[in-house]
Amino acid sequence: MQKAQQKRQNSLYQKHLSALKRQGKAPSTIDVYARAVRRACEYFDAPIDTLSQEQLEGYFESLVNTHSWSTVKVDRNGLQFFYKHILKRDWEWVDIVKPPQSKHLPDVLTLKEIERLINGTRERRYQTFILVTFSMGLRLGEALNIRVSDIDSERMTLHVRQGKGKKDRFVILPQLALEALRAYWASHRNPNWL
């Protein structure tokens, strides 16, 4: 890339980072979207605003052959954001790359499997953790972040804070999970656990 082109690309890249922050994107999203722009620039050794649709098609064909579909999707989204917010252009990404659609059902444990899992664990805190996680359908990170103030025993709900997508939600608190939490709390009195 020539000096003038590099200067222009650097300016566009800085605008991209600024736009990502202004749009309230998470730091991890900013990182991967910025990486998508850098990867495309390095591939072509040219400013990204000069690329044709045919060049992008070739780029994504190469990317599909060398990277996972997860990376391809993130790069597509990063470049789409760049085109929309920085270049103020439409980018028909569907015509360029479309990941295959696959739907997988989650593995669902039976009650006997969950019972074996809980009983196979020796420490009470892990038993309580497994019981609470499974009985309320929580993600591991959500269960790890439970605080006493999140438990509403009157309404029998649990306030999940900053769950998937940084969203709060309420889940039903089963009586068995509440009793397990109370028993663990009474025996350990560890305010950092709940």
Considering only 79-88, 91-100, 132-141, 164-173, which range has the smallest mean pLDDT? Answer: 91-100
* 111-188, CATH topology level: hpI Integrase; Chain A (1.10.443)
Q: Do domains 3-96 and 111-188 have the same CATH topology?
A: no
Cβ 152 vs Cβ 177: under 8 Å: no
Angle, alpha carbons 147-152-154 (nearest 5°): 155
Selected residue with higher pLDDT from 183 and 106: 183
Could you list the beta-strand ranges (E) of 14-156: 151-152
Helix, strand, coil percent values for the chain (each to nearest 5): 65, 5, 30
3-96, CATH topology level: DNA polymerase; domain 1 (1.10.150)
> Is residue 41 within 8 Å of 86, Cβ to Cβ?
no
CA distance 9 to 6: 5
Reported as a single tens digit per residue, the pLDDT across 3-48 is 888 888 888 889 999 999 999 998 999 999 999 999 998 898 888 8
Long-range Cβ contact pairs of 18-27 (< 8 A, separation 24 or more):
19/81, 19/85, 19/86, 20/81, 23/81, 23/85, 26/166
48 Cβ contact list (under 8 Å, min separation 6) = 9, 12, 37, 40, 41, 79, 82
- The tens digit of pLDDT for each residue in 91-130 reads 766 667 777 787 888 788 888 998 898 888 888 888 889 9
Q: Where are the domains of the chain?
A: 3-96, 111-188
